[in-house]
Amino acid sequence: MIKSMTGYGSSSKEAGSFQVTVELKAVNHRFCEINLRIPRSFLHLEDQMKKRIQRFIHRGRIEGFVNIEGEGLLVKNFKVDWMLLDQYVDALREIKNHYSIQEQVNLSHLLKQEEIFQIQEKEERSLAEVEELLLSCAEEAAQALLSMRRLEGEELKNVLIQYINELQQMVNSLEIRAPLVTRHYKERLEKRIRELYTGPVDENRLLQEVAIFSDKADISEELTRLSSHCSQFLQSLEIKEPVGRKLDFLIQEMNREINTIGSKANDQQIAQDVVELKTILEKMREQVQNIE
């Protein structure tokens, strides 16, 4: 099943006076990258949250936001290191007396010393219940994100099928057009020779020139491979595993064949078709960049 790499999912749960909310936003990325913004007290759960999210998300850049609301989860205490403070005050007085400094030691001098003052956080109640809520929300948010990705992926699939059908139709037209190129070249060459030379035309020489041109302008192999890539592309759209990279590779191969066709086929109509083929392929490439 085709899945988009962009989407949004969220989950919110309550337990007593606490509410946990997890939001996940996803955008395109070559690999799977998950960045979570978690309150410091729950940073130890980051790896577990990522593992739960990765059960559902295999590719893309995921930005996660965690919000925990409630009273009494943590109690903050202000602590003074009195021993260090005494040493600091004594040192200031010694410096003042030693250098005969007139300025008095005041509170502002002391408050600048951050190592003397500490704010300690203490759990007032067990965090186990809140931790389980957080992990559960992360999983549900990932499921919601996956659902949105699937919906967008279905739309992308329909668009890509339309593009690949257009491309295949043009390939079919080129298969009909290609044999005519040699015939038209033979007619133009024979006409040109008769305009420049009034004697009999050397048919063997003419056929030899036409054969050389036909070999150089032959695009049958490129068209066959291009049709094969189109079939593989359609088949890949039905695979359940992530196929974004495979589709991107197939588009690169299609582009290679189309470029070769454009360089080999000495025909104005085919040249115009090549431009149209590359336009369709570029539209496909833009869509594929968003597939997981």
Q: What is the pLDDT of residues 228-275, one digit of tens each?
A: 999 999 999 999 888 999 999 999 999 999 998 887 777 778 888 889
Bridge partners, residue 26, by sequence: 7, 62
* Axis-axis angle for helices 46-54, 128-196 (nearest 10): 50
Nearest to 254 by CA among 223, 276, 275, 289: 223
Residue 107: predicted pLDDT:
77
Over 70: is that where the pLDDT of 195 sits? no
Whether pTM exceeds 0.75: no
β-pairing, 117-123 vs 74-80, is antiparallel
**Cα–Cα distance measured from residue 2 to residue 239, given in angstroms and rounded to the nearest whole number:** 8
What are the pLDDT digits (tens) for 123-162? Answer: 555 577 788 889 999 999 999 999 999 999 999 999 999 9
Strand partners, 121: 76
Percent of the chain with pLDDT over 90: 45
